[in-house]
Amino acid sequence: MSNNAIQIFDTTLRDGEQVPGCKLDTKQKVVIAEQLDILGVDVIEAGFPVSSPGDFKSVQSISKIVKNATVCGLTRSVENDIRVAAEALQYAKKPRIHTGIGTSESHIVHKFKTTQEDILERACAAVKYAKSFVEDVEFYAEDAGRTDNEYLARVCEAAIRAGATVLNIPDTTGYCLPSEYGAKIKFLKENVKGIEKAILSCHCHNDLGLATANSIEGVINGARQIECTINGIGERAGNTALEEVVMVLKQHPYLNLDTNVNTSMLYGMSQLVSESMGIYTQPNKAIVGANAFAHSSGIHQDGVIKNRETYEIIDPKDVGVTESAIVLTARSGRAALAYRAKNVGYELTKLQLDEVYANFLTFADRKKEIDDNDIHQIIETSKVYQ
């Protein structure tokens, strides 16, 4: 793996599936996993096997069909969780156990009602136990975002000594600012003994809308894996959106950080996940929303028709969208109307356009969006065309 390669760890089927209202059966999960594998993600977190017989079955079925990616199962720092995960993953070509425990003061005091030393011991024991089943063990320090950096560094060191090769630093509550999260990763990179034997992983939640920014700051500061979900789905406000981090890295090549993802599949992947889960994607969602490449104001439309790059930083084809949309509304100008009219077969002169445009505005004030049938009707009923 090159030093600039960013591993994409997809957790759509685990953290993403925790989204309220999500309905996915094993068959649908297998289809999504197959597509994620073709998309080129490095790791597929297939589920939390001990959580239910259905999830166990899903992780097992996914393990059998995934050809390239590592297949991962989540556990708590509990022996039975780890044993069950190892069993669910037994058919995977490249199995990974993802185990961990809460490390913030809040988790230690309120959730575990214990001490930092006890958490450290439980973390080590879990990693060692997981290592007795698989070579590839990832350790998560839950709520690392609110964990004291010195203590976090001690936990990371202990996890590496116990055999962890990936250290997940989750901002579980989506609390960190990008500068704080980046500084945390830098601190760990510089202060954890043995860090050269492991990679740091970003796992950011979107409670303040900062998940993508935090993950990007994380990799700029030395992390080499991003944990994310398609469409950014997940608990509460969701996880880092896969399509966003992948496109940020692609559109900023000077960062020199690459992923293996075939970006032309992103739109299709988004549709597949949203349709299978029954979770609607907001129209203004970056990269994959219905409006991500739609232009509706006259000034923007005029620019895009002259040269796409005036108002688009991504070629829609790069993410699997056939073309940008010039949406006709009462805010549109003559350039957009002429463009759409030409697409349906009318080459309008300047004079004709002026008159058709006046009719168009009256029509568009009544109807929110003008479709191709409306264009025919507007033009055919304009005097200049009779």
> Which residues of the chain form contacts with ligand KIV (CB under 6 A)?
15, 140, 142, 168, 170, 172, 203, 205
Which residue of this chain has its Cβ atom nearest to ligand KIV in the complex?
170
Q: How far is C-alpha 10 from the geometric centre of its chain's CA atoms?
A: 8
Shorter beta-carbon distance to Zn ion: residue 20 or 253:
20
DSSP β-ladder status, 43-47 and 7-10? parallel
Task: Name the minimum Å distance from CB 277 to ligand KIV.
Answer: 18
Per-residue burial over 354-379, b = 16 or more CB atoms within 10 Å of its CB, e = otherwise: eebbebbeebbeeeeebeeebbeebb
Report the candidate in 172, 120, 164, 175 with the shortest Cα–Cα distance to residue 144: 172
**Residue 228 or 370 having the CB closest to Zn ion:** 228
Binding mask 6-35 for Zn ion (x = CB under 5 A): ---------x--------------------
Q: Least distance from C-beta 238 to ligand KIV, angstroms? A: 11
259 binds, among ligand KIV, Zn ion, none (CB under 5 to 8 A by kind): none
Please, which residue, 29 or 300, has the CB nearer to ligand KIV?
A: 29
Residue 204: φ, ψ to 5°: -115, 140
- Taking the complex as a whole, how short is the minimal distance between the CB of residue 205 and ligand KIV, in angstroms? 6
Residue 203 CB, shortest distance to ligand KIV, in Å, is 5
d(CA 42, CA 109): 35
Q: Which of 181, 213, 220 is nearest to 286 (CA)?
A: 213
Closer of 99 and 332 to Zn ion (Cβ): 99
* Residue 145: alpha-carbon gap to chain centroid: 19
Residue 168 binding target from Zn ion, ligand KIV, none, CB below 5 to 8 Å by type = ligand KIV
Apex 61 CA angle, 57 and 65, nearest 5 = 170
User: SS3 of 233, please?
Assistant: coil
- Say if residues 227 and 192 touch (Cβ distance below 8 Å): no
Tell the smallest beta-carbon distance from residue 133 to ligand KIV (Å): 19
Contact code string over 78-107 relative to Zn ion, x by CB under 5 A: ------------------------------
d(CA 33, CA 12): 9
CB of 16 to Zn ion, least distance (A): 9
**142 binding Zn ion? (CB under 5 A):** no
Question: Among residues 29 and 205, whose Cβ is nearest to ligand KIV?
Answer: 205
Between residues 142 and 244, which has the closer beta carbon with respect to ligand KIV? 142
Whether the CB-CB separation of 6 and 249 falls below 8 Å is answered with yes
CB of 138 to Zn ion, least distance (A): 13
Name the site residues for Zn ion (rule: CB under 5 A): 15
